Amino acid sequence: MNTANASDIVITSIHARAVNVPLEHPVRTSVGVISTSPLVLIDLHASDGSVGRAYLFTYTPMALEATRQMVLALGEALKGQPLAPLDLDRLLAQRLRLLGRTGIALMACAGIDMAAWDALAVARGLPLVELLGGRRRAVPAYDSHSMDGVELGVERARRAVAQGFGAIKTKVGYATLAEDLRVVRALRQAIGDDTQLLVDFNQGLSVPEAVRRIHAFEGEGIAWVEEPTLQEDYAGHARIREQVRLPIQIGENWCGPGEMAKALDASACDFVMPDAMKIGGVTGWLRAAALAQARGLPMSSHIFQEVSVHLLAVTPTCHLLERMDLAGPVLAEPLAFENGTAIAPPQPGTGIAWNEDAVRRFEVRAC
């Protein structure tokens, strides 16, 4: 543990690198395919020698350099500031008031927030979950799959069950309802009745078509239906909820707790699943968890499994951790799963550290 008084620790520099990491399975959805994992790796250096690390997922390689530059620009503005994440959040909100903390700016702020909390936990000699007042405990996870079709879908589902996962998710929204049902029924037969089956439409349907397809799913043992229509259409999700019996899950695209509050006010969902990057990092997640607790809504995570395992452990309505390994190839120690659960690692911080050989192999340098 570092002995410096935490109130005396300041940020000395923030570095950012871009990598484009291969995926074992491309992420196929009803609205497009993600064939690689484009990441911005952040290193926040503090005056006591602590280093906080985080990564951002930009979905497309086209956004890598713009996101990296935004992190660097905001990092310059934070040099010399105390390592106090809540104060940093207020400062960044003020600096971006006119521009707006949305899009790439929101992502960059969240990445810095996660790195700042990581550095603070390292400085205190505590895992992040313990810094936040919780304890390291097993968090149940679901194995997150793609629009894989029947053959690959069944293969991946059986592997997940063999690894002890009590829930799997598949992406649906095929060209026809008949194809959706063919895949769902094949997966249900493969995993048996004791494993939860979750489905994700990735915003691919109109409200009437969502109602039609969800009605058809109601006898298939589906535990939740994710983003059946446009994520920002909270009224549309509310209309779907009124007409179907299956629980509706949304939240991965909420840009900050304010958007989450609007969705909850509209009664748009039964479950919530914020994304650590889009909701505003650790700081945004804690605010989102309070909203979920107030409404009694089970809260799951979207990607970012390394930090989310800490955050869900302090979330009052903790539900399921999404297992989708986007950064594993560039991590020194990827998050471990055992019997369908994950536990935050014991070392100080989040446990994120880079495999520098892999980073050099996959690094994308600006032209």
Is 262 a residue of the active site? no
Q: What is the pLDDT of residues 219-249, one digit of tens each?
A: 999 999 999 999 999 999 999 999 999 999 9
Pair type for strands 51-57 and 11-29: unpaired
169, 237, 278, 302: which is the annotated catalytic residue? Answer: 302
Instruction: Count Cβ neighbours within 10 Å for each residue of 314-333 and write b for 16 or more, e otherwise.
Output: bbebbbbbbbbbbbbbbbee
Q: How confident is the model at residue 33 (pLDDT cuts 50, 70, 90)?
A: confident
The dihedral sign for the CA sequence 299, 167, 267, 202 = positive
* CA distance linking residue 305 with residue 253, whole number of Å: 16
φ/ψ region of 303 (left if φ > 0, alpha if ψ in -120 to 50, else beta) reads left
Between 128 and 26, residue with greater pLDDT: 128
Query: Tokens in use for 289?
Result: 């968890």
Residue whose structure tokens are 């494993």: 195
Mean pLDDT, rounded, of the chain: 96
Q: Has residue 6 got a pLDDT over 60? A: no
Q: For 127-156, what is the mean pLDDT?
A: 97
Strand-pairing partners, residue 171, are: 200
45, 145, 169, 171: which is the annotated catalytic residue? Answer: 171
Q: Has residue 155 got a pLDDT over 50? A: yes
Q: For 332-350, what is the mean pLDDT?
A: 97
Q: For 340-348, what is the mean pLDDT?
A: 98
Least confident segment among 1-5, 18-22, 179-183: 1-5
Q: Has residue 20 got a pLDDT over 50? A: yes
The pTM is what?
0.96
Give the number of other Cβ atoms within 10 Å of residue 252's Cβ. Answer: 22
Residues 6+ apart with CB under 8 A from 81: 10, 11, 87, 88, 91
Q: What is the pLDDT of residue 366?
A: 79
CA distances from 97 to 74, 75, 102 (A): 13, 17, 10
> What structural domains and CATH numbers belong to the chain?
6-126+356-362 (3.30.390.10), 130-342 (3.20.20.120)
Q: Has residue 358 got a pLDDT over 90? A: yes
Query: Tokens in use for 62?
Result: 């086209």
Q: What is the pLDDT of residues 166-219, one digit of tens each?
A: 999 999 999 999 999 999 999 999 999 999 999 999 999 999 999 999 999 999
Strand-pairing partners, residue 64, are: none
Is 215 a residue of the active site? no
Q: What is the pLDDT of residue 100?
A: 83
Give the number of other Cβ atoms within 10 Å of residue 87's Cβ. Answer: 12
* CA distance linking residue 104 with residue 64, whole number of Å: 10
Q: How confident is the model at residue 1 (pLDDT cuts 50, 70, 90)?
A: very low
Q: What is the pLDDT of residues 259-287, one digit of tens each?
A: 999 999 999 999 999 999 999 999 999 99
Percent of the chain surpassing pLDDT 70: 98
